[in-house]
Amino acid sequence: MKKACPYCGAVHDKEFICPKKPQGKYHQRSELSKADVFRGSYEWKCKREHIMKRDLYLCVACRHKLTGTIRQFNNEDLSVHHIRPLITNYELRLDDNNLITLCRNHHEMAEKGEISAEKLLKILPEHPPGGEIFNI
């Protein structure tokens, strides 16, 4: 069976892969780094949710009024940040003591090195006794 190609306009066999088809960064799984694959994993999605719950769905840097804080109890545009970079410390990818919830502004500052890893480690929330996440 043949069909019109959306990339070149020609008519090809349905199994034919047109050379004009864009080859984006993520089209081939072999081009993904170990870190990229991890970020899409179910394991990471569960851990990310666990960390946000631990941090009460608030930016920890804002709660501690670090530079760049607009409001102390910021629950907007949150993400979980690897304090020690995933690329160089892959073995710490799921370590609660290496993960912290940050707003976009503080996450960007941390990525640029404007907030040091040491400072983030100092403000990292401690687990309640017994390691349980407390409910609000």
- 106's CB contacts (< 8 A; 6+ apart) are 59, 61, 62, 66, 68, 69, 115
The pLDDT of residue 5 is: 77
Report pLDDT digits (tens) over 42-78. Answer: 999 999 999 999 999 999 999 999 999 999 999 999 9
The pLDDT of residue 26 is: 52
The pLDDT of residue 8 is: 76
Task: Record the tokens describing residue 45, joined without a space.
Answer: 């999605």
6-19 per-residue burial string, b: 16 or more CB within 10 A, e: under 16: eeeeeeeeeeeeee
The pLDDT of residue 17 is: 84
Measure the CA dihedral 41/45/51/52, to 10°: 150
Per-residue CA distances from 73 to 27, 52, 88, 127 (Å): 40, 14, 31, 20
Per-residue pLDDT of the chain (136 residues; tens, 9 = 90+): 777 877 777 888 878 888 877 776 555 555 778 888 998 999 999 999 999 999 999 999 999 999 999 999 999 999 999 999 998 999 999 999 999 999 999 999 999 999 999 999 999 987 554 444 444 4
The pLDDT of residue 52 is: 97
What are the beta bridge partners of residue 2?
13
Residues found in the chain:
136
The pLDDT of residue 95 is: 96
With tokens 């960007």, the residue in question is 108
